[in-house]
Amino acid sequence: MPGLRMYSDLAAWWPLVSPPADYVEEAADLLPSLLAAPDAPPTTLLELGSGGGSLASQLKAHFRLTLSDPSPQMLAVSRATNPECEHVEGDMRTLDLGRTFDLVLIHDAVMYMTTPDDLRAALATAARHCRPGGGIAVLPDSVTETFEPDANCGGFDAPDGRGIRYLEWSWDPDPADTTIEVVYAFVLRHADGTVEATHEVHRNGLFPRADWSRWLRDAGFDISSRLDPWNRDVFTGRHTAGRPRPAS
């Protein structure tokens, strides 16, 4: 993720790539799982890899949110969308705020964990910040069993004349490893009418469902999963009071 233009010099375009309004249905589907995950009604939620805060914008009416992301530019976008929320710069593999929350959420940013060690480190961070009896929800875009090469496009216009259109194209160049590649191509129209095009390749992690469940249990969570309406695994669980088990 470090060095990717989407999350650095192109971050200001994020509200035209993935606006808050696009998350209304997803948040409505996710909310019952979040509310049921802890052992008591939750009030605080930490999101690891919160990006531009579009999903958070649909959840902040229900929780007191702390939003963490490694990109200062994306955090700036989120602050503009969610000024009432706490924002913290940090990597989900190493973050340590020294406090716990009723819920920890990791959305699609977890796809940037490309090795088992990366993913286990992120889940350990989640456990470190989840109170005993608290809940977790992790939502990868795909697991090994659900991944299919795909392409889609989107983008929106702004009142100031700016606009963006993008193509997202994913495939698995080596099914024997734990990564897939996703190419993003962007065509940007600036407010003065000038147009530029750029693209970049992102590497995402891809792991079997059984490994996800095992590593979440190893981190100290009693876990279950379901498929959401978009055929994505939603892993939810409760943090046990004991210490996390050694990673397997």
pLDDT band at 3 (very low <50, low <70, confident <90, very high): confident
Three-state DSSP class for 189?
Answer: strand
Q: Tens digit of pLDDT for each residue in 97-134?
A: 999 999 999 999 999 999 999 999 999 999 999 999 99
Nearest to 100 by CA among 136, 137, 54: 136
Q: Give pTM, 2 decimals.
A: 0.95
Query: What DSSP string runs through 190-216?
Result: -TTS-EEEEEEEEEEE---HHHHHHHH
Query: Which numeric CATH code is attached to 150-205?
Result: 2.20.130.10
Model pLDDT, residue 107: 98
Query: What DSSP string runs through 172-188?
Result: -S-TTSSEEEEEEEEEE
pLDDT at 166 over 70: yes
CA atoms of 223 and 211, how far apart (whole Å): 12
Q: Tens digit of pLDDT for each residue in 14-35?
A: 999 999 999 999 999 999 999 9
Nearest to 51 by CA among 95, 1, 7: 7
Spell out the domain ranges in the chain: 5-143+208-239, 150-205
CA dihedral 163, 86, 226, 248 (to 10 degrees): 120
Whole-number percent of the chain with pLDDT over 70: 96
Q: Tens digit of pLDDT for each residue in 179-224?
A: 999 999 999 999 999 999 999 999 999 999 999 999 999 999 999 9
DSSP letter at 157? B
Model pLDDT, residue 246: 47
pLDDT at 146 over 80: yes
**Class of domain 5-143+208-239 (CATH, top level):** alpha beta
pLDDT at 245 over 60: no
